[in-house]
Structure 1
Amino acid sequence: MAVRLAVTAAFLFPFFTPVASVDLTVTPGAVGPEVVEATVQRILLSDIFSDDFSLLRRIALVETADGKDSAAFAGGLAGGIWRLTPEAFTRTTELAEGDWGSYYTDLRRSALGVDWRDVTYTDLQTPLISALAARIYIMMTSTPVDKVAYGLAPQALYWKLQYNKDGDEAQFIAKVTEMEKGQVCKIGIDVVFALDASLSVGDEGFARSKNFVKQVVEAFNIGPRDDQTRVGCLQFSHEVSLAFDLDNHDNKEGILRAVDEIAYKGGGTAMGSAIDFIRQNSFTEEHGARPTQYAVPRVAVILTDGKTNKEFPILFPSALAHRDGITIYCIGVGAADDSELTVIASRPVASHVMHVLSYAAIDYLQNIMATRTCRETTEIAVGHPVVTDLQEGEARFISYEIDRTEGATLKFVTSSGLVTVYLSSEVPNPNEAVYDYKVQTDGRVDLFIDPALLGSSSRYKRATGVVTPSHVTVYTAIYAHTNGTQLYVESRGGNNADHGYPPPASTDPPDGGEHAPYRSHASPGPTASVPVAVAAVCATSAIFAQLQF
């Protein structure tokens, strides 16, 4: 995953400094929470497996403290971060073609690009391979196949019976609870909950739906600032009934009271009407949604237990909502129609559709929902600016569809405060674990995405001969390091980078990742390279970098 960075002086004498882009998910021996979370996200994004309800993330924590527990590796490699046993790994390599062999094909053809039949046990020191081995094993040993338990206690029981027979269920629950308690999303989001209030839900089911909303709200930093979350809510039966808009309550207590006051109506299931209402009303500035230039994600969470009435179709409303940049999560309960949920939800389906057996079970999803919504990106059209304020520790995740014929220039400007900018064409939330380009600035940085270097961002497309699309998605993540950071991002087609200043004396390479407490002898795993042409202007410098997309 090599990237060449060229710093061009005013004298036009080129000076080349090699800088490697980073993907610690395929780096043998890399460890830590960021590595684990990036690895789990890559598997979810592949859409190969069903939702594991955070089980993979939790096993990494319990088995090896995300690879940082030296005691876990006292006996040697022990299956990498996920510490799968040799016997369990062998089972993952013996899937019959008639049963689960299609998973091998999916892995090879997906963006992960892994031929599982070539993987050996020693390869499990690579985080992605260790996680895939664990995920395949979970798929094989779940009952029914690939239907993972969604509650913490049932997951702990599964782990004890199938994954680690010497493990302690109580310790599993305690460690996971400690990790997940008190987690607060520091990223501003506009979230609208749509609650099914049809007759099949009943008073008890509706009460549990309201309780779920309250539990998720507890994990958000509620308030009116750009870095805080706003919440709206509605119910739908034969018609849509608004409970409160995004701007009706700017504190957590007010939202919780408003949810308690929602009265169950009963009736049909006008899900299509609810989606239309969310798009045409809830996510408008008149009803409290932040302007698109703030780059605040717009997220709808739909809870339903049935099938929509025929007079309220869902296909067209869902397509329009997706087109308008609304991310939709669907939580199906009981007899909810999975085919409908798949149509309504955003992609990938594995991370945006959750199906539980009863309303009593939705309580288990609160942490999962809060975590996933906190990572959503905002798609901004090239040519539209972003103007927002960030607090320390907050991030903005922005994606751009860039024309392959002309490329685009992204200009990041901070009038106050320090930010780190990561770019990637592979993952929606690039960070220290996975990125293709990284720069830090407390002034301005111009990045030109050169069309001459834009290739296919998907190994699957390259392998199967799919026609190269006219645009490529570039993901950016901007992290603030100080409170009161004022951020302005300008995007324009073509090369508009300002490069009329001399370069700095040196360019620091990217930070390295943490390594596991055991010696690594394996060769590096497969990597994907993403070349970008970049011009960075930091007060007195112009930096040109080339990365390959």
Structure 2
Amino acid sequence: MATLLFWIAVFGASEILAQTDFSLQAGATGKDVVDVAINRIDRSNIFQNDKNILRRIACVETQYGANQANGNLGGIWQVSETDFNRTKEAERYPHLIDMHNDIWKMWGVRWKTLGYSELLKPFYSGLAARLLLSLTEVGSRRPIPGIIVEQANYWKNFYNPAGSLQAFEAAATSETCETNCPGRLDICIALDASNSVVATDFNISRYFVHQLLTTFETGASRAALVVYSNRLHVTFALDTNMTWAQKKQAVLDPVQTPHIQHNTHTAEAIKYCIDMFNSTPAVVEGIPKINVILTDGKSNDPGPLKVPMVAPLAEAAGITSFAVGIGSGAVYSELLTIANNNRDRVHDLSNFAELAQFFQQLNQETCEIPQTPRVNDTTTDSLIKGERRYFKYTLGVEGLQITVSTTAGQTAVYYSYTETTPSAALYDGKIEGSGVIPYRLPTTTPAPPPTESARGDLFRTGNSTNPELEVYLSVTGLSDRNNYTIEARIFVPGNGASIVNNLHRNAAFVALFVCLANLIIRPLSA
């Protein structure tokens, strides 16, 4: 019996413990909470790409909840009750019918019966704000712009008429709203230099790459740049000895980064990046490998080498591909093929002016790609305050013993079975020094609750599209400079301290576990 209870304690914890999610707690604030709400909304695919306006509105309106108006029940996004009621008017805005149905199917939420005070919970506030934006975006057919100045006008005209344009622009570009992630990754940027890209737009492309490199230059990342048209021109490769300053100078130099002005051999550019990754050893095993393919039109590679053939090779090589289309000539279906059918990795920008300001968003998204070290490997790293690294490990039935040794500063470590970017706002468990991540049995997607209530089971584990038997970790730096190592080993039962950590010192789990033990032991003792 003791053995049975031991394995229930070790491997059953994840089934009994509830996921911690502050985006569902009334009054919760902070950037991490906002990120959880926005990520859930974005990944639902209910809405079109909002071009980062939802995150900017959260920062502009309340600084991620820190400055909410007294008595306003609209939450972090400060949605008024009048506007909240408008998001329920499917008779007036027919596109809401499908959105309301999708919200019910995805999260078990009956939007038309949801109370206004529920917007004090960040997820509902963000969802209300996104539905409100859709009234203009879809209902009035006025797409959300990607340029901050134009977003300020969009916000004032259709979201907050009393707001200040200058205040929006100032806040949206402040360090509070826009932060760089130095990152730890290898990235290959392929820049379209075909004849459909006019000279002024190609200069904007150079500027975009220059700014993107700036976001990474203080970290441990490496970058390569290839310009493509009917031929390739490599400005610099991953293993170059150039400094970041020299790389950025080379990007702006028309000789080193030429505007070739011929056809669009996109497949050839993708193949170059794949070959470079395959031939260039990683500095550390498991570092993310990322392709960023920029194009303003459909590819026209000659011969047998085509995008549908070469794009899957990137995925097979462990490369994450982002496809960025610019202007009306970009073909969404081809962008989706480049991104290996991952809509979250496709960005369809209206024009090159939007590209000029897109570097910050791309920086954040690439930094969310997890490192994939092998079990028993030790990873040594350094973080600045607020910087975060993500990891993904394969989780066997034995569970994983995670050890994080912080030699300077202080770190916080969270893990999740389904969320690829766990944080203090959303996690299944914490690791303090050393702890066990137990195996969790595969789950299935239950049907929506058979009630007509506004809220159902928001966190049905099976809604996640992430594969089972993988676990995701994050390490966040809490001091100005934080040095740490992280190691994962297959868990060997018998370490009592690890078991205590595994149970997370969670009173709810202890109570449930005692009840379970009583149910098992009582019949045996009768």
TM-score range, shorter chain: 0.7 to 0.9
Query: CA shift at 1:115, angstroms?
Result: 3.1
Structure 1: unaligned runs, 5 residues or longer: 1-6, 512-528, 534-549
- 2:210 aligned with 1:214: yes
Q: Against the structure 1 CA distance between its residues 347 and 478, is the aligned structure 2 distance closer, same or farther, given a 3 Å change threshold?
A: farther
Match of 1:138 among 130, 133, 137: 133
Query: CA shift at 1:175, angstroms?
Result: 1.3
Deviations along 1:20-46, whole A, 9 cap, x unmatched?
642011111111222112211221222
Structure of greater relative contact order (alpha carbons < 8 Å, 6+ residues apart): 1
Q: Which residue of the partner structure matches residue 516 of structure 1? A: none
Q: Which secondary structure does the structure 2 equivalent of 1:142 belong to?
A: helix
Q: Which secondary structure does the structure 2 equivalent of 1:471 belong to?
A: coil
Q: Which residue of the partner structure matches residue 277 of structure 1? A: 272
Q: Which residue of the partner structure matches residue 474 of structure 2? A: 477
For 1:367-516, list aligned pairs within 5 A.
367-379=360-372, 383=375, 385-393=377-385, 394-402=387-395, 406=397, 408-414=399-405, 416-417=407-408, 419-441=411-433, 444-451=434-441, 454-456=442-444, 471-481=468-478, 483=481, 485-492=483-490, 496-501=491-496
Answer with 363-372 or 174-183: which moved more. Answer: 174-183
Q: Which secondary structure does the structure 2 equivalent of 1:219 belong to?
A: helix
Q: Against the structure 1 CA distance between its residues 470 and 188, is the aligned structure 2 distance closer, same or farther, given a 3 Å change threshold?
A: closer
8 Å contact kept, 1:397–1:475: yes
Distance 2:239 2:42 in 1: 33
8 Å contact kept, 2:312–2:340: no
Amino acid at match of 1:489: E
Deviations along 1:63-122, whole A, 9 cap, x unmatched?
1222211xx422x13311111112211121122595342222222233x44332332212
Deviations along 1:419-461, whole A, 9 cap, x unmatched?
43211133221111111101221xx43433244xx42489889
Q: Which residue of the partner structure matches residue 315 of structure 2? A: 322
- 2:73 aligned with 1:83: no
Match of 2:167 among 168, 171, 176: 171
8 Å contact kept, 1:302–1:330: yes
Post-superposition, which runs of at least 4 consecutive aligned residues in structure 1 deviate over 6 A?
A: 457-470, 503-511
Query: CA shift at 1:361, angstroms?
Result: 2.9
Query: CA shift at 1:383, angstroms?
Result: 4.5
For 1:33-112, list aligned pairs within 5 A.
33-69=31-67, 72-74=68-70, 76-96=71-91, 99-110=95-106, 112=107
Q: Which secondary structure does the structure 1 equivalent of 2:173 belong to?
A: helix
Q: Against the structure 1 CA distance between its residues 407 and 52, is the aligned structure 2 distance closer, same or farther, given a 3 Å change threshold?
A: farther
Q: Which secondary structure does the structure 1 equivalent of 2:485 belong to?
A: strand
Query: CA shift at 1:363, angstroms?
Result: 0.7
8 Å contact kept, 1:447–1:497: no
Q: Against the structure 1 CA distance between its residues 234 and 491, is the aligned structure 2 distance closer, same or farther, given a 3 Å change threshold?
A: farther
Distance 1:390 1:498 in 2: 31
Query: CA shift at 1:384, angstroms?
Result: 6.9
Distance 2:438 2:500 in 1: 21
Q: Which residue of the partner structure matches residue 202 of structure 1? A: 198
Query: CA shift at 1:241, angstroms?
Result: 2.6
8 Å contact kept, 2:88–2:96: no
8 Å contact kept, 2:83–2:132: yes
8 Å contact kept, 1:139–1:145: no
Distance 1:125 1:263 in 2: 52
Amino acid at match of 1:309: N
Q: Which secondary structure does the structure 2 equivalent of 1:438 belong to?
A: strand
8 Å contact kept, 2:188–2:223: yes
Match of 1:234 among 226, 244, 255: 226
Q: Which secondary structure does the structure 2 equivalent of 1:165 belong to?
A: coil
Q: Which residue of the partner structure matches residue 290 of structure 2? A: 299
Q: Against the structure 1 CA distance between its residues 473 and 118, is the aligned structure 2 distance closer, same or farther, given a 3 Å change threshold?
A: farther
Amino acid at match of 1:366: F
Query: CA shift at 1:209, angstroms?
Result: 0.9
Distance 1:263 1:436 in 2: 49
Amino acid at match of 1:65: Q
Query: CA shift at 1:197, angstroms?
Result: 1.4
8 Å contact kept, 1:245–1:287: no
Q: Which secondary structure does the structure 2 equivalent of 1:243 belong to?
A: strand
Query: CA shift at 1:373, angstroms?
Result: 1.8
Q: Which structure features the higher share of helix residues?
A: 2
Q: Which residue of the partner structure matches residue 338 of structure 1? A: 332
Deviations along 1:446-498, whole A, 9 cap, x unmatched?
433244xx424898899899999983442111234575734242354xxx335
8 Å contact kept, 1:233–1:243: yes
Distance 1:230 1:95 in 2: 49
Deviations along 1:147-198, whole A, 9 cap, x unmatched?
3111111111011111111111111111112236873314212121100111
Distance 1:465 1:435 in 2: 16
8 Å contact kept, 2:399–2:436: no
TM-score under structure 2 length normalisation: 0.80
Distance 2:358 2:311 in 1: 23
Distance 1:133 1:120 in 2: 11
8 Å contact kept, 2:392–2:470: yes
Structure 2: unaligned runs, 5 residues or longer: 449-457, 514-526
Query: CA shift at 1:129, angstroms?
Result: 0.6
Distance 1:469 1:426 in 2: 6
Q: Against the structure 1 CA distance between its residues 268 and 408, is the aligned structure 2 distance closer, same or farther, given a 3 Å change threshold?
A: farther
Distance 1:484 1:463 in 2: 35
- 2:357 aligned with 1:360: no
Q: Against the structure 1 CA distance between its residues 190 and 236, is the aligned structure 2 distance closer, same or farther, given a 3 Å change threshold?
A: same
8 Å contact kept, 1:19–1:509: no
8 Å contact kept, 1:113–1:459: no
8 Å contact kept, 2:54–2:129: yes
Amino acid at match of 2:364: T
Match of 1:187 among 183, 187, 191: 183
Distance 2:79 2:350 in 1: 29
Q: Which secondary structure does the structure 2 equivalent of 1:309 belong to?
A: coil
Q: Which residue of the partner structure matches residue 539 of structure 1? A: none
8 Å contact kept, 1:456–1:462: no
TM-score under structure 1 length normalisation: 0.77
C-alpha root-mean-square deviation of aligned residues, in Å? 3.7
Distance 2:78 2:482 in 1: 43
Distance 1:390 1:467 in 2: 31
Q: Which secondary structure does the structure 1 equivalent of 2:143 belong to?
A: coil
Q: Which secondary structure does the structure 1 equivalent of 2:432 belong to?
A: strand
Q: Which secondary structure does the structure 2 equivalent of 1:178 belong to?
A: coil
8 Å contact kept, 2:25–2:121: yes
Distance 1:503 1:377 in 2: 25
8 Å contact kept, 1:46–1:348: no
8 Å contact kept, 2:401–2:436: yes
Q: Which secondary structure does the structure 1 equivalent of 2:95 belong to?
A: coil
Q: Which residue of the partner structure matches residue 524 of structure 2? A: none
Match of 2:147 among 151, 154, 161: 151
Query: CA shift at 1:135, angstroms?
Result: 0.3
Q: Against the structure 1 CA distance between its residues 507 and 103, is the aligned structure 2 distance closer, same or farther, given a 3 Å change threshold?
A: closer
